[in-house]
Amino acid sequence: MKYTLWAFVGVTILTLLIDYLLFRLVIQKRQKQSAHFSFPFGAFWHFGMTAVFILSFAILYFLIPLASSSSVYVFFQWMMTVYLLIYIPKTFYYLSYKIIGRFHKVLDKFSEDGKIKKMNDGRYPTISRKKFLSQVGIVVASAPFISLLFGVIKGRFSFAKKYTKLSFPNLPNSFEGLKIVQISDLHLGSLNSNYREMEEAVELINAEHPDIICFTGDLVNNFYEETIGWEKVFSKLKAPLGKFSILGNHDYGDYSKWPSSEAKANNLKGIKEAHGRLGFKLLNNQSSLIDINGESIAIAGVENWGHPPFPRYGNLELASLGTEKAPFKMLLSHDPDHWDAEVTTESDFDLTLAGHTHGMQLGFEYKGFQWSPAKYKFKRWSGLYKEGQQYLYVNRGLGYLGMPARVGMPPEITIIELTKGPIGNDPM
């Protein structure tokens, strides 16, 4: 997890701005100024929480690059959650108060004859404008608070299965009906010790009876130690034709300062070995052939390939070696940006599987419509995409990072069935 100076400055400015605007609003509503240290409306008490959060974020800015374990990341994500539970509702409260207040003033200009006031006619208790706006603000602010709280308590482990059927004219007959399960972005350090919840995900995957399981990177947040103990969970995944994996941007240890290059190399070595302990064949710019009845397809995996600031270790040409004669080719590449940058222009992979975006762990879906802030950062951020004869599927991840919550973007288990036929796709 990369926590930059600009991120800290942005959070600081936003926090001060929100609390300053709300403080002014409190003064306007009370119509009198409280002493600075008077409880609870004094400036000292109002900005006390502001100072605590800014100081905490400042300390973490210096601690995270020096961290030697995932505990700092876990602390950061829970502090970030508390921060968002407080400041998102504050923001919604202020905006709703000001917007509805402005609308109310405009409405009053068109009711100077008293028609609106006469509608009440004394039959109902009157309510002041400020009290009405406060109550509306509380209602509006409650929505994001409840949504985020639900995302923490329930949403982060509400696993969702996404089904897709893809047909290819070049798929060998022996692979008709091949079922692939894709998972991505486990971030084991964030999961901490939630073994029981992940065992549920494993059961859901095995219930699909996949032929192949693909994991598309970000096993950890940064450290090899995050993988310890997870063999008992993920080694239970079953796929008769193989379980394949790749590295993601978080798997290289690039988000910490190491005492030596040797220490960083040993950390990466431990992460690579962990893939094997969890039952996966790690494809580091490598390929493998899968055979059925004398026919074969190729599956290749590249190391992480991303646009800055994400690392670029992937070598597509190297990963493609050995796939030349395969009639059907599949690629695992963590960052979906790689697909547009190289895969569609420099290769003939039929299907690429990626992850990385998490769908920002926040969004909205209804029938065929989906929205997430991720769409403003990534060209390909969720689901199925097609260019020419090539397909890309972007998985939203099974774990989480930054905050232990998912709101409207549940952790995803992707099920893809391959069939022989004209190029096309259908929901299963």
Q: Average pLDDT for residues 190-199, to the nearest whole number?
A: 93
Q: Count Cβ neighbours within 10 Å for each residue of 114-153 and write b for 16 or more, e otherwise.
A: eeeeeeeeeeeeeeeeeeebbebbeebbeebbeebebbbe
> 354 with 334: CB under 8 angstroms?
yes
The pTM of this model reads: 0.89
The confidence score (pLDDT) of residue 100 equals: 82
The confidence score (pLDDT) of residue 123 equals: 55
Q: Indicate whether 114 pLDDT > 50.
A: no
Instruction: Outline which parts of the chain fall under CATH 3.60.21.10.
Output: 157-426
Q: Average pLDDT for residues 141-169, to the nearest whole number?
A: 95
Q: Encode pLDDT of 88-107 as tens digits.
A: 999 999 998 888 877 766 66
Query: How far, in Å, CA of 345 to CA of 319, rounded?
Result: 15
Non-local CB neighbours of 172 within 8 Å, separated by 6+ positions: 292, 295, 296, 297, 327, 328, 420
Of the two residues 120 and 296, the one the predictor is more confident about is 296
Topology of the domain covering 157-426? Purple Acid Phosphatase; chain A, domain 2 (3.60.21)
The confidence score (pLDDT) of residue 127 equals: 63
The confidence score (pLDDT) of residue 29 equals: 65
Of the two residues 357 and 31, the one the predictor is more confident about is 357
* Percent of the chain residues topping a pLDDT of 90: 71
Query: How far, in Å, CA of 339 to CA of 316, rounded?
Result: 11
Q: Average pLDDT for residues 299-321, to the nearest whole number?
A: 95
The confidence score (pLDDT) of residue 274 equals: 97
What DSSP string runs through 134-177? HHHHHHHHHHHHHHHHHHHHTGGG--EEEEEEEEETTS-GGGTT
Query: Of the given ranges (22-31, 354-363, 416-425), which has the lowest mean pLDDT?
Result: 22-31
Work out the angle between the directed axes of helices 5-30 and 71-109 (0-180°, nearest 10).
Answer: 40
The confidence score (pLDDT) of residue 305 equals: 96
The confidence score (pLDDT) of residue 251 equals: 97
The confidence score (pLDDT) of residue 64 equals: 86
The confidence score (pLDDT) of residue 97 equals: 86
The confidence score (pLDDT) of residue 425 equals: 87
Amino acid code (one letter) for 297: I
Q: What is the DSSP letter of 289?
A: E
* Phi (first) and psi of residue 424, to 5 degrees: 175, 175
Q: Encode pLDDT of 215-267 as tens digits.
A: 999 999 999 999 999 999 999 999 999 999 999 999 999 988 899 999 999 99
pLDDT band of 45, cuts 50, 70, 90 = low
Amino acid code (one letter) for 46: H
Query: How far, in Å, CA of 239 to CA of 214, rounded?
Result: 10
* Percent of the chain residues topping a pLDDT of 70: 89
Q: Average pLDDT for residues 175-201, to the nearest whole number?
A: 96
Q: Average pLDDT for residues 41-49, to the nearest whole number?
A: 71
Q: Average pLDDT for residues 193-201, to the nearest whole number?
A: 95
The confidence score (pLDDT) of residue 148 equals: 94
Q: Encode pLDDT of 59-95 as tens digits.
A: 998 888 888 888 888 899 999 999 999 999 999 999 9
Average pLDDT value for the chain: 90
